Structure 1
Amino acid sequence: MLWSPGDDGRDVRELQARLRQIAWIFHGPTGTYDDLTAEAVRGFQAKRGLPETGVTDTVTWQRLLAMTREPGRWELYLMGGQPADPPDPRCMTGRVMCISKSSRTLRWMIDGRTVSTMPVRFGSEYTPTREGVFRVYWKSRHHVSTLYDSPMPYAMFFSGGQAVHYSSDFAARGYAGASHGCVNVRDEDAIARLYEQVRDGDKVVVHW
């Protein structure tokens, strides 16, 4: 046995972060092995034909490691305040950037499975981010906005001039600022991975 209900610490936080990557948990990581964590572990075990104990043993942990990636600092420590909503029904088929305005999160989903989740911010009330279903129509790795003369690295355009892109301002100031309508990502490593995976034509769903 590695971890069980009542345990806490960084290892439990990593367990929760990895469970969250594959959509068995939608809260935290909190670092505490609570009832929701035990329930998620039981579900993960059941899906893979393992004994449904809710306790993380070596076999369960090895299976989880094989299906997930090393969580970064954001996933381990800074997502706890903003749990991702359950995915919008329009996100459950195909390749989708599923973007929730209510939880301020972007889920990258393929065929209903969450591949990664990251915090995002949106446009101000004067330049709001459009809601609806769109398609990625252009990717620009080193983009600079001609309208605002500001860098938009890893830009993935989905509606007019609105794109998902990395924002150094978001990384520095957090939610104290806002975009001009784009979907800002503050974790550069996360969006670099996302940019590599997303293709032209992939769906973008922006919803409450």
Structure 2
Amino acid sequence: MSRHDPHRTVHRLGAPLVALVLALACTSLLVVAPAGAGAPSTSARAEAFTPMRLGDSGWRVRVLQSRLHQLDLHSEVVTSRFDVETRDGVATFQRRRGWTADGVVDERTWTRIVARTTEPTSDALHNVYTPGRALLERGDRGMWVRQVQARLKQVRWYDGDVTGRYARSTVRAVEGFQAKRRIPVTGEVDRRTLTRLKDMTREPTRAELFNIVPAGPALDPRCTTGRAMCVDKTSRSLRWVVDGVVLKTVEVRFGSDELPTREGAFSVFRKSRDHVSSLYGTSMPFAMFFSGGQAVHYSPDFAANGYAGASHGCVNVRDRAAVAWLFDRVRIGDAVIVYRS
């Protein structure tokens, strides 16, 4: 028997069959190739994303901040520093989705932020701004102008009366505010300028909007918003203040050195029209309690003897009609500010 010659066998098979044999050989090579040889594994892909967190810095953080701004979760100014504002914006984004709100940008958080935003422009990433449409400009009048003037006054860019007229002095104040914050200096209030101004200020009080100056010593700043009984130990006065406007002023006296009236910010937690002290057995009509057993109330002794005596820590009022008027207007939760001017 002759020995087998593979070359002669292939020759007898013919060209079409040779091609089929080679194709099958290539297929078998593909089958035995190691899995995943040409692409990173799932674990490798997971390791490719590095989380961003408080304290980080760099261009990625800058892009993150710009995208957060698109979602109203960061100011327009980007800094490349992952600061508290950035962390809070990320945490809010996570909280809205029911995720753990740790403020750390993991891959899931980043993927969702990218999906909800557009690629930041070069101008946005470099804090280059173009003027927006004017919401208020020179020649305008009205309450919106008053609001802007009062807010500019709070940040010391406007020092005139709040008039409601957008005149030259208001233009200069807006220009100064814009220049300080790298906003295009136009002297007109666009959306960017108004948003930044609101972020830096509080809602103006009626007194600020209409140039109402409180009588007597300066009010404690804590008395200028909302509803407050502003008790000044220095001037021995109680002023009832609503939105920065003093509506009533009465004379008061306080506790002795042994039983002083507490100073600080409190609120009315109880009212008793015909109260009698269970500790001292004395009458305390129109009592408005703000700190433990200390209250603002009418004092017959104060009315009779003036400042010759002292309370047991309460704020005594000598004018019965005035304190009755006050009692009918003060609500539970209203502020009581006791201070020295």
Question: Normalised by the size of structure 2, how large is the TM-score?
Answer: 0.37
84-93 or 105-114, which deviates more: 84-93
By how many angstroms is 1:113 displaced? 0.3
Q: 1:25-75 deviations in whole A, cap 9, x for unaligned?
A: xxxxxxxxxxxxxxxxxxxxx98xxxxxxxxxxxxxxxxxxxxxxxxxxxx
1:178 maps onto 2:310 in alignment: yes
1:207 maps to which residue? 339
The amino acid of 2:244's aligned partner reads G
For structure 2, list consecutive stretches of 5 or more residues without a partner in the other structure.
1-161, 164-214
Aligned length: 131
Of the candidates 228, 232, 257, which is equivalent to residue 100 of structure 1?
Answer: 232
Whole-angstrom CA distance in 2 between matches of 1:143 and 1:118: 20
Q: CA RMSD in A?
A: 2.0
Cα deviation, residue 85, structure 1:
1.6
The residue aligned with 2:48 is: none
* Rg (Cα) greater in structure: 2
Q: How does 1:17-166 map to 2 (within 5 A)?
A: 84-166=216-298
Within 2, Cα distance between the matches of 1:126 and 1:157?
A: 20
SS state of the match for residue 301, structure 2? helix
Displacement of 1:86 in angstroms is 1.6
Taking CA–CA contacts closer than 8 Å with sequence separation of 6 or more, which of the two structures ends up with the larger relative contact order? 1
In structure 1, C-alpha distance between the alignment counterparts of 2:275 and 2:256, rounded to whole Å = 21
Q: Deviations over 1:4-41 (max 9, x none)?
A: xxxxxxxxxxxxxxxxxxxxxxxxxxxxxxxxxxxxxx
Q: Secondary structure at the match of 1:109?
A: strand
- Structure richer in strand, relative to its length: 1
1:135 touches 1:202 (CA, 8 Å); kept in 2? yes
**CA apart distance, 1:117:** 0.2
More helix by share: 2
CA deviation map 1:59-114 (0-9, x unaligned): xxxxxxxxxxxxxxxxxxxxxxxx83221111000000000000000000000000
- Paired with 1:178 and 1:86, the residues of 2 have a C-alpha distance of 25
Q: Which runs of 5+ in 1 are unaligned?
A: 1-45, 48-82
Tell me whether 1:196 sits opposite 2:328 in the alignment: yes
Superposed CA deviations along residues 117-164 of structure 1, whole A, max 9, x for unmatched, are 000000000000000000000000000000000000000000000000
Contact 1:121 1:183 in 2 (8 A): yes
State the TM-score, normalized to the length of structure 1: 0.60
Residue 84 of structure 1 contacts residue 105 of structure 1 at CA under 8 Å; is this kept in 2? no
Stretches of 4+ moved more than 4 A in 1?
none
